[in-house]
Amino acid sequence: MPLPSELRARALYCLIETAPAVKAAAVTAMAEASAAGSLPVDPTASLPEVAGTVPGRPARPELVPPREVGRRSMGTLEGRAMLIHALAHIEFNAVNLALDALWRFRDMPVEYYLDWLRVAKEEAYHYSLLAAHLATLGHAYGDFTAHNSLWEMVERTREDIVARMALVPRTLEARGLDAIPPLRAKVAQAGDEAAARILDIILRDEVGHVAIGNRWYGQLCAERGLDPEKTYDELVVRYRAPHVKGPFNLPARRLAGFSEAELARFRD
């Protein structure tokens, strides 16, 4: 089967791929083709029916409720491996959510699709870094259980791009801005400097990813005459988004484009 020659169709092709390493390589190749000008985007194209499961994922890891995912003690090699595995799973899901945002929503400006292509490429890089580090700990992606909470919100917002931008990048992914610094401190204290450096890369890039969500959420609200804060509160209730709890990384959230009014709410 020849590779699709249009960006959104290629993103769908990558999304359906089940093998994580193959998916990551396909996303990287897609970004390179786009940068070379050989993969144009058609915002109005009606894509064909999906020929595979969305998202494509391997048979393992086994997906369980969040409370059933094993504990991740930094005091043991297996505990650190479980943590790196959990992070790899988050990044694998993040690749899929970026691909979904890229192909699913029609009639957006070309810049929207290029933004989400950038996110997909960087998330694939993060996954590859974590999978490689996991191998140095004697494990592979799929060796431990994982949960599916991030993708569940992607699925709920599949018909509403405003909700998608509000509740995935600027809510669920933004939690990474808060969680990564203390996590980095723990892995560094455990002597895993390689994992700490990977977390530095992820935090740097995630600021930009959340900023993309903030930018498109703000633009969509402006175009539709919606009050961003009021609309956000309504979407949280409508789509049963989790309550965001502190402590918050306010400097990173500020860099990611949250308004001072929003930051004041996060301090509460």
Average confidence score pLDDT of the chain: 93
Evaluate if residue 49 carries a pLDDT over 70: no
Contact 20, 143 (CB under 8 A): no
Over the stretch 134-183, which tens digit does the pLDDT of each residue have? 999 999 999 999 998 889 999 999 999 999 999 999 999 999 999 999 99
* Residue 3, number of CB atoms within 10 A of its CB: 13
- pTM, full prediction: 0.95
Burial class (CB in 10 A: 0-12, 13-18, 19+), 208: middle
Which pairs count as long-range contacts for 182-185, CB under 8 Å and 24+ apart, including other chains? 183/83
Report CA Rg, the chain: 18
Region 191-205 average pLDDT? 97
pLDDT at residue 48, rounded to an integer: 67
Banded model confidence at residue 47, pLDDT cuts 50, 70, 90: confident
Over the stretch 73-112, which tens digit does the pLDDT of each residue have? 777 889 899 999 999 999 999 999 999 999 999 999 999 9
* Residue 249, number of CB atoms within 10 A of its CB: 22
**Residue ranges per domain, the chain?**
7-266
The CATH architecture that domain 7-266 belongs to is Up-down Bundle (1.20)
Whole-Å CA distances, 98 to 210, 212, 250: 12, 11, 24
- The number of helices, as runs of H, and strands, as runs of E, in the chain is 11, 0
Region 109-118 average pLDDT? 98
What beta strand segments (E) does 99-212 contain?
Answer: none
